[in-house]
């Protein structure tokens, strides 16, 4: 089943800050029916995973090239592509865990010759093309996919940053590094690495960038975020919205980088008030302590 996309919009965006990527003006979500619109379809998998079918803007509707992110249930993904008359050309694998990479070999059986991309040091099952930080992948006429090394959850975790036509907000597929209002467990890395991945690499993307993560964890993450910042009105507002979305059977994804900078305690570790709540004066230490608290939290 494909779910429609709905995005929570905060009342105000945070102030701009310099980063690796130049800031771009905020743009409204393009009309889904436009032939030049980046189309991203949610494909719910397993218990709480999402795969994503990404179709870039196309001029010639006869060549609807598409990419799929973390296709853990290949038959479901291929069916979704058929429903949207899309031709899957490549697989983007964020990391090696089975609930993200476990469908790659079957995808190669179902679509002979398909390319499967994965991090060069992550030992991704079925990988045909290894990528390093900064590598670019082409899809269609107008799309550029940039590989961003975002380690910690796994050593070689890759987030895929997608830009398409001028005037349209970019998107980033963050796997299990950045969740909506949360981050992945530090299975193969350190707090320093997660800080670099979240607050430097992903935090420097243009603020309107849409965030597509690997799991539907948003409600629990926001509930925990309130234990860190109980007076944060933006967290309270988004939690109410997210609970309403889930009651309707709708996804809470995508978010945006701007929203995460307002509501995600792990991406707010630079703030003195968050460090104070964590009981330290260092952003890296604050991130580490908040993750330890989250690991023990049973909300």
Annotated catalytic residue 84: no
User: Is 101 in contact with 93 (CB distance < 8 Å)?
Assistant: yes
Q: Shortest CA distance to 138 belongs to which of 162, 165, 114? A: 162
Determine contact, residues 289/201, Cβ cutoff 8 Å.
Answer: no
Catalytic option among 41, 42, 97, 157: 97
Rounded CA separation 257/192 (Å): 20
Choosing from 99, 122, 149, 157, which is the catalytic residue? Answer: 99
Distance (Å, whole) CA 23 – CA 143: 19
> What per-residue confidence (pLDDT) applies to 165?
66
- The residue from 41, 100, 149, 157 that is catalytic is 100
CB-count burial class (<10 Å; 0-12, 13-18, 19+) for 263? buried
Q: For the chain, what are the domain ranges?
A: 39-296
Annotation says 153 is catalytic: yes
Distance of CA 287 to the CA centre of its chain: 19
Q: Sorting pLDDT into bands at 50, 70 and 90, what band is 177?
A: very high
Our answer to whether residue 149 is catalytic in this structure is no
111-145 per-position pLDDT tens digit: 999 999 999 999 999 999 999 999 999 887 778 89
Catalytic residue chosen out of the listed positions 41, 96, 153, 157: 153
Architecture of domain 39-296: 4-Layer Sandwich (3.60)
**In whole angstroms, what is the distance from residue 107 CA to residue 72 CA?**
9
Q: DSSP letter at 199? A: I
> How crowded is the C-beta side of 87, counted as CA atoms within 13 Å?
11
Active site residue 176: yes
Helix ranges (DSSP H) in the chain: 74-83, 98-101, 104-110, 191-195, 218-228, 233-247, 257-263, 272-278, 283-296
Q: Name 64's Cβ contacts closer than 8 Å, sequence gap at least 6.
A: 55, 58, 84, 85, 86, 87
pLDDT, average across residues 78-100: 95
pLDDT digits (tens, 9 = 90+) for 224-253: 999 999 999 999 999 999 999 999 999 999
Q: Which residues share a beta bridge with 158?
A: 149
Q: Annotated catalytic, 135? A: no
What is the average pLDDT across 187-195?
A: 98
Model confidence at 96, pLDDT cuts 50, 70, 90, reads: very high
User: pLDDT band at 57, cuts 50/70/90?
Assistant: low
The helix (run of H) or strand (run of E) holding residue 68 is: strand 65-69
3-state secondary structure 110-173: HCCCCEEEEECCCCCCCCCEEECCCCEEEECCCEEEEEEECCCCCCCCEEEEEECCCCCCCEEE
DSSP type of residue 3? B
pLDDT of residue 109: 98
Q: How does residue 64 score in pLDDT terms, banded at 50, 70 and 90? A: confident
């Amino acid at each position: 089943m494909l779910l429609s996309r709905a995005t929570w919009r905060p009342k105000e965006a945070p102030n701009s800050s310099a980063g690796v990527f130049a800031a771009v003006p905020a743009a409204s979500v393009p009309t889904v029916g436009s032939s030049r619109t980046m189309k991203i379809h949610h494909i719910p998998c397993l218990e709480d995973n999402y795969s994503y079918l990404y179709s870039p803007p196309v001029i010639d509707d006869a060549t609807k090239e598409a990419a799929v992110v973390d296709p853990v249930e290949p038959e479901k993904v291929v069916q979704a592509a058929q429903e949207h008359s899309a031709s899957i050309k490549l697989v983007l694998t964020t990391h090696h865990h089975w609930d993200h990479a476990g469908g790659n070999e079957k995808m190669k059986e179902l679509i002979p010759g398909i390319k499967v991309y994965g991090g060069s040091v992550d030992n991704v099952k079925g990988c045909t093309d290894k990528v390093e930080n900064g590598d670019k992948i082409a899809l269609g006429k107008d799309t550029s996919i940039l590989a961003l090394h975002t380690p910690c959850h796994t050593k070689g975790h890759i987030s895929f940053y997608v830009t398409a036509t001028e005037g349209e907000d970019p998107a980033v597929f963050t796997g299990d590094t950045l969740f909506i209002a949360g981050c992945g467990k530090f299975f193969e890395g350190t707090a320093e690495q997660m800080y670099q991945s979240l607050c430097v690499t992903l935090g420097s993307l243009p603020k309107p960038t849409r965030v597509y993560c690997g799991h539907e964890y948003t409600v629990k993450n926001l509930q925990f975020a309130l234990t860190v910042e109980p007076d944060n009105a933006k967290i309270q507002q988004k939690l109410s919205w997210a609970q309403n979305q889930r009651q309707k059977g709708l996804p809470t994804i995508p978010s945006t980088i701007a929203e995460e900078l307002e509501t995600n305690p792990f991406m707010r570790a630079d703030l003195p008030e968050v460090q104070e709540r964590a009981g330290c004066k260092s952003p890296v230490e604050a991130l580490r302590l908040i993750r330890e608290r989250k690991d023990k939290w049973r909300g």
